[in-house]
Structure formats: C-alpha cells, structure tokens
Amino acid sequence: MTDNIRPESMTRITTPALAAAFIDEQIAALKEQIGDKKVLLALSGGVDSSVVAALLIKAVGRQLVCVHVNHGLMRKGESEQVIEVFRDQLGANLVYIDATDRFLDKLAGVADPETKRKIIGKEFIDVFAEEAAKLEGIRFLGQGTIYPDILESKDGVKAHHNVGGLPEQYDFELVEPVKLLFKDEVRVVGKALGLPDSMVYRQPFPGPGLGVRCLGAITRDRLAALREADAVVREEIEAAVAAGTIKPIWQYFAVVPDMRATGVENGKRRYDWPVILRAVNTVDAMTATVPEIDWPVLKRIADRILAEVPGVCRVLYDLSPKPVGTIEFE
Ligand code: XMP
C-alpha cells in the first residue's frame, strides 16, 4: 500500500476471517518492504500502535524495536500491561523508558493547559529521539496511522498526530500497515491478532494523558489521587456494563481540579480535593451527550473513591454536554 486513498472496492473488515486475510496480506507486504532491516515504533499501548506492533512482530520479529515512553501520565496499570503483553507474551524487543521524573519536573508549576500540552508533546519527541539515536541501523519507522488521521490531515482539521515530530535528521521510511483502516476495523484486526480486549476496546485516551485531567499545575500527590480515582471509575463502569446494568459508554474518566473543598472526618474538618466524574457518549467527539448512569452505580463509584483514595472528600458528576462543555476539562 503506497497510496493514501482507500479504494472504493476495499472490503470493510468486519469478521475474523476478513481480519485473518488482511493480516496474512500485511505480513507478506511488511516482509517484502522491510527485508532484513530494523523498524522503530513508539508503542503507547493504544489500539492503533498495539495492532501495528503485533503485525510487525509477526512479520519481522525482533527486527522491530518498540519504545514505550512512560511519561508518568499513564492510567493505572497501562505501562505494565504494555510490558506484559508485548515483552512477556509476544516476545517483542521492547525498550521501556520511565521518564516520569523528567516530565513532571518540566511540568512543575505550569498551569496553562496549552503550555502543558506543548511541554508534554515536545518532551515526548525529545525522549523518543534520544532513544532512536542510541539504536543502530534503524531504517524504518512504524506508525499507527489510521484512515481518519489521513482524512483529517488532508482536510486540515488537525495536524496529523502520528506523522512527523521527529527531528529531520532521522531519515526513516514510514511503515503504516493500518493506514487505510477505520477504527472499528483496527479493533477487529487486533482481536484476530490475539490482543487482550482491554487493549483492543480501550476507550480513547488523549496523548497528554492524565496531564489534562489533573487540572492546573500538576502535583505528584494530586496526580496519584487522580490515577486511583480513575481506576475506580473504569472498574465500576466496566463491571456495570459487563453485568448489563448500564449500556456501554464511549469515554469515562475522573478529573481532579486544583482546588480543595471542606470535608469532615472523625469530627474534624479537612480540606481535600473533589473528584469529578466525566462520562460522555458521542459518535465523532465533535458533540457529546451525558449518559444517565444508574444511581447505584454512581453511588458505588463515589463510596469507593471516598473510601479508597487519600486526599479526596467529594465526588461530583459533570452533567455538561458538548457543546458547551468540551469532553476534557482542559
Ligand atoms: P474535547 O475535550 O476537545 O475532546 O471535547 C475531544 C476528544 O479528543 C480527545 N483529546 C485529545 N486527544 N490529544 C489527544 O490525543 C489531546 O491533546 C486531546 N485533547 C482532547 C478527548 O479525550 C476526546 O476524546
């Protein structure tokens, strides 16, 4: 596939059999393109880069070098899952970089949301480029580009987040095996490749991660509270969906603002953080509605967060659709 236009005749990948055929075809094409050379891939753990990694492992094995940068803003258990699935189960050549301190030091005291995004984006490229410079003989760069990325960058809707960013001295040739697929097709392929459901059906997670949900200037203690509260939200919503109590929700997460509210415990007043629960349904993320979550589910989330997460004294549910509110808080 050298072209960036999806042919009208291309069958939509909707079944395991169609996915298996696509996988065979791609493995052959990747072997042909890459030969005995090495490929570098930034592996975030999102479905797109995970599917590309799994395809490349099947095609060229340890000629693929995956780099997972933990920017310290991942959700609970995410980096661990990347290591477990790719290094332990699939035998990938995986370089894991814990860059938490580096990112959090750069972000210290920075409250402006767009400045935070810029710092996270730039630092990510810097860390990745530094790792790339240490590796020898890399000829290709794997990318989890999907078809909507191509359409959106063509329309000028957004800068193509998967393309570019690396300094120009890296003269890599791109390897983009899922660039003509839509998200639902990537998921069917991921399933056929044997990736875990939690990776294949992962809800969208912004590149800057928890950084844009720990509002204002990020502090380590508030970030830790956010990570724990977010894990509770995910566990409880996913359990309720699995039990059929609520319908699947498109995106759901916790937010911790940079303010405190009064609480009381054992007769003593305290000033702790509120946790905001955000859940939305949407088709294209341009507009969004707020689902009516069953009261017992909401109550269980609140009870668990208040009991399990230190430093939190309230749980609030955001009722704002988009517009006027955006999906994220920053
Ligand atoms: P908003 O907040 O603009 O979010 O309504 C729409 C969708 O985009 C995601 N989002 C981001 N994704 N980098 C990303 O990769 C970002 O900086 C970013 N900001 C928002 C958000 O999670 C939602 O799915």
Cα–Cα distance for residue pair 19/177, rounded to 1 Å:
13
Assign 184 to helix, strand or coil. helix
For ligand 1, atom 4: residue with the closest CA: 327
Contact 265, 318 (CB under 8 A): no
Instruction: Decide: 206 in ligand 1 pocket, CB within 6 A.
Output: yes
Instruction: Decide: 251 in ligand 1 pocket, CB within 6 A.
Output: yes
CA distances from 206 to 31, 35, 52, 219 (A): 32, 34, 19, 19
Which residue among 327, 329, 330 has the greatest number of ligand 1 atoms within 8 angstroms of its CB, and so is best to mutate?
A: 327
Please give the chain's pLDDT, 330 residues, in tens.
458 999 999 999 999 999 999 999 999 999 999 999 999 999 999 999 999 999 999 999 999 999 999 999 999 999 999 999 999 999 999 999 999 999 999 999 999 999 999 999 999 999 999 999 999 999 999 999 999 999 988 776 655 555 446 666 778 999 999 999 999 999 999 999 999 999 999 999 999 999 999 999 999 999 999 999 999 999 999 999 999 999 999 999 999 999 999 999 999 999 999 999 999 999 999 999 999 999 999 999 999 999 999 999 999 999 999 999 999 999
Instruction: Decide: 157 in ligand 1 pocket, CB within 6 A.
Output: no
Cα–Cα distance for residue pair 237/191, rounded to 1 Å:
22
For ligand 1, atom 6: residue with the closest CA: 285
- Domains of the chain plus CATH, in order, are 16-204 (3.40.50.620), 213-317 (3.30.300.10)
What order do you get walking across the sheet with 138-142 strand by strand? 93-98, 64-70, 38-42, 138-142, 173-175
Q: Ligand 1 centroid vs 90 CA: distance in angstroms? A: 30
Q: Ligand 1 centroid vs 139 CA: distance in angstroms? A: 32
Which ligand 1 atom is the nearest neighbour of the CA of 328? 2
Per residue in 98-129, pLDDT tens?
Answer: 999 999 999 999 999 999 999 999 999 999 99
Between CA 25 and CA 6, with CA 197 as vertex, the angle to 5 degrees is: 35
Q: What is the pTM of this model?
A: 0.94
